[in-house]
């Protein structure tokens, strides 16, 4: 298991000028750090490779190139296209 760091140790590793402890605690409460820090007593503990997640960015997934189905053609051609595309990802 990886060694857990407290918020100030983590911020010192990630930022050249770390935010204040109250800001780090607010980020932990609001879920802005992934993976989510764990509260051990009165201190938040988290793994060293945790990242800050910007809440204004609604989608944090990597964009993939999607192929749109053909607009014209028979039903059989459209079904073949769906089979080649693979399973749907939601």
pLDDT digits (tens, 9 = 90+) for 3-28: 899 999 999 999 999 999 999 999 99
What phi, psi does 48 have (nearest 5°)?
-70, -30
Between 90 and 37, name the one with better pLDDT. 37
Topology of 4-52 in CATH?
A: Multidrug-efflux Transporter Regulator; Chain: A; Domain 2 (1.10.1660)
Per domain, the residue ranges of the chain are 4-52
Q: Is the pLDDT of residue 64 over 60?
A: no
* pTM score over 0.75: no
């Amino acid at each position: 298991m990886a060694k857990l760091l407290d918020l100030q140790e983590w911020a010192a590793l990630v930022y050249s000028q770390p935010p204040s402890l109250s800001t780090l605690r607010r980020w932990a409460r609001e879920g802005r750090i992934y993976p989510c820090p764990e509260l051990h007593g009165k201190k938040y503990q988290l793994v060293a490779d945790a990242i800050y997640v910007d809440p204004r960015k609604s989608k944090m997934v990597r964009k993939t190139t999607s192929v749109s189905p053909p607009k014209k053609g028979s039903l059989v051609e459209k079904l073949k296209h769906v089979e080649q595309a693979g399973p749907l990802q939601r």
